[in-house]
Amino acid sequence: MLPDIEIARSARLRPMAEVAAELGLLPDEVEQYGRDKAKVSAAALERARGAVRGKYVVVTAITPTPLGEGKTLTTIGLGQAFRRLGMRAVSTIRQPSLGPVFGIKGGAAGGGYSQVVPMEDLNLHLTGDAHAVAAAHNLCAAFLDNHLHHGNRLGIDPHSVTWRRVVDVSDRALRDVVVGLGGRANGLPRQSGFDIVAASELMAVLALAEDLHDLRSRIGRIVVAMTKEGRPVTTEDLRVAGAMTVLMKDAVKPTLVQNFEGGPVLVHAGPFGNIAHGNSSVIADRIGLGLADVVITESGFGADLGFEKFANIKCRSSGLAPDVAVLVCTVRAIKAHSGRFSVRPGQPLDPGLLAEDLDAVSEGLCNLRKQVANVRAFGVPVVVAINRFPTDTEAEHALIREAALKAGACDAVVHTMHTDGGAGGTDLAEAVSRAWNCERRFELTYDDSLPLREKIALVASRIYNADGVDFSPVADRALAAYSGMGYARLPVCMAKTHLSLTHDPQAKGCPSGWRLPVRDVRLSAGAGYLYALCGDIMTMPGLPSRPAGEHIDLDADGNVVGLS
């Protein structure tokens, strides 16, 4: 097949007015942003908020390999497939971060004939929301250091500052820095660092906010440091929350683009799937649910991460509940969970992953069974989507289907949406539409009133299959402090590797007999959760030895080439 960027460039783009009208948006609810994208105004949200008419479908996955298993492709492709079945469908996805685009992962537009177009726009800046988040975040950092420089009226303990700076680049050299060097005129010297923009609490806030007013309230609740007496210091205390909101007033509007077949896609927010909740915005989902027959959204990484946070954080906050979950898997990923093979980005695949090996599939199916069980634990019907690759065999697919049905999936369907677009996913779409008529009793893993330690322990045991949790002394002190400050009713956001059900990225399959180490717990008061750091999780990625950016350039006609 042609590279994704060449396929995307072959798409016949519809005028954005037509795409908007298909979704049910009125002309004055759409703000054109160039030729091929538009912002959706607050008026559309207000009109859609009153009536939830659409079905709510969330796409998740088994524990992925570093190559990814096609969740975004499936999310976009299902929008195309439902459209072919005569339904008004919209896909809602996160905005890609520039760090992975130029680093190890590449873009996040989907793939083949099931992708967002123009894919260059999606992967490169889009409508500038990420830069607005970065500007607002760094404005707060500047206000904080300025406050320390001009007398520290609030009595902030400089060693307690948790608000670092952000940049939308993967740059390991910025993980730990010292600011304020060069003399008294340059501020108070202190140790700090940079995170990638997707790890900013503001990005998580943007995804969970109900509207502009809720965004303002959440930004004002963000805690950036502690006083010397141990009192939280917020952006409101620094008198910067209003200015931060002003910088993000247009970012609160979702961006409307289209899929390869001309159907609507809403792109909004881009919180990390590890350190944050890894889901697109509540606002985009509400607009879709009020206007479309079906909304297909995507949660980051496997069901143990993105879907668990979709339910326990996003749905807890919004009050919405999914009708069906689609669990994406591939033969190669299931084989990798046998522990027989390793998958490394940029390296050729092990030949064993490309040849029929029913024993390896059988050994790796434990991960599929566990992730089906994870979704079913929330009372949500699940359909397994097998993303077909040319090297797959019918016997391997049959083995996966049998295991999925025995594990409790409503159905398991092979799709070819990468090569065939929406036409390759109509069987899957029909299976999903049957599943949303199944019995559903949505329930969360824990109640708000439970102690924080117990919330963490329940996620570890029920979702990760851990025997228990080992809290470090630092984590113990943090939990006690946050409980004492009145944050005990918040949900927990687990920050761990996406490459394993455990905290160890090398542990494949469905390990048992292990304990989850929690080394620290930190507060995201604006987003409305505490996050537990499990294992070695970083908020600033580094570039690989051969970054994807080496291949990105412009051709003689000014077209972007090499983007993947």
pLDDT reported for residue 199: 94
pLDDT reported for residue 350: 87
pLDDT at 14 over 90: yes
pLDDT reported for residue 548: 82
Mean pLDDT, rounded, for 427-442: 94
pLDDT tens, 221-276? 999 999 999 999 999 999 999 999 999 999 999 999 999 999 999 999 999 888 89
pLDDT tens, 288-319? 999 999 999 999 899 999 999 999 999 999 99
Mean pLDDT, rounded, for 320-340: 96
Q: Are 518 and 471 in contact (CB under 8 A)?
A: yes
How many Cβ atoms from other residues are within 10 Å of residue 488's Cβ?
17
pLDDT at 342 over 90: no
Q: Are strands 55-61 and 294-298 parallel, antiparallel or unpaired?
A: parallel
Tabulate helix, strand, coil % of the chain (nearest 5): 40, 20, 40
pLDDT at 347 over 90: no
Write the single-letter amino acid at 554.
L
Peptide bond preceding 118: is omega within 30 degrees of 0, i.e. cis?
yes
DSSP conformation letters of 484-505? HTT-TTS-EEEE--SSSSSS-T
Contacts of 356-360 spanning 24+ positions with Cβ under 8 A: 356/393, 356/395, 356/396, 358/395, 358/396, 358/399, 360/334, 360/335
* pTM for the predicted model, two decimal places: 0.96
d(CA 281, CA 270): 8
Going from the N-terminus, what domains does the chain have, and what CATH number goes with each? 4-122+251-435 (3.40.50.300), 129-247 (3.30.1510.10), 452-534 (3.10.410.10)
- Residue 556: partners with Cβ closer than 8 Å, 6 or more residues away: none
pLDDT tens, 443-482? 999 999 999 999 999 999 999 999 999 999 999 999 999 9
d(CA 150, CA 524): 27
pLDDT reported for residue 547: 85
Mean pLDDT, rounded, for 23-32: 96
Mean pLDDT, rounded, for 494-521: 95
Token pair, residue 265, equals 């896609």
pLDDT reported for residue 140: 98
pLDDT at 543 over 90: no
pLDDT reported for residue 79: 98
The pLDDT confidence band at residue 179, using thresholds 50, 70 and 90, is very high
Write the single-letter amino acid at 562.
G
Could you tell me which of 244, 238, 318 has the C-alpha nearest to residue 58?
Answer: 318
Token pair, residue 281, equals 């915005």
pLDDT reported for residue 221: 98
The pLDDT confidence band at residue 375, using thresholds 50, 70 and 90, is very high
Query: How far is CA 370 from each of CA 7, 61, 165, 465, 503, rounded to the nearest angstrom?
Result: 36, 11, 38, 9, 16
pLDDT tens, 49-89? 877 789 999 999 999 988 888 999 999 999 999 999 999 99
User: Is the CA virtual torsion 439, 333, 94, 445 positive or negative?
Assistant: positive
d(CA 297, CA 294): 10
- Residue 102: partners with Cβ closer than 8 Å, 6 or more residues away: 169, 170, 543, 547, 548, 549, 552
Return mean pLDDT, the chain. Answer: 94
d(CA 64, CA 61): 7
Segment among 208-217, 269-278, 337-346, 411-420 with least mean pLDDT: 337-346
Write the single-letter amino acid at 311.
A
Mean pLDDT, rounded, for 104-129: 89
d(CA 339, CA 357): 13
Q: Are 95 and 207 in contact (CB under 8 A)?
A: no
Could you tell me which of 293, 335, 381 has the C-alpha nearest to residue 509?
Answer: 335
Mean pLDDT, rounded, for 407-435: 98
| Farthest CA pair distance, the chain | 71
Could you tell me which of 260, 192, 183 has the C-alpha nearest to residue 9?
Answer: 260
Token pair, residue 135, equals 């500007």
pLDDT reported for residue 50: 74
Instruction: State the DSSP code for 314.
Output: I
Query: How far is CA 352 from each of CA 329, 343, 360, rounded to the nearest angstrom?
Result: 18, 11, 9
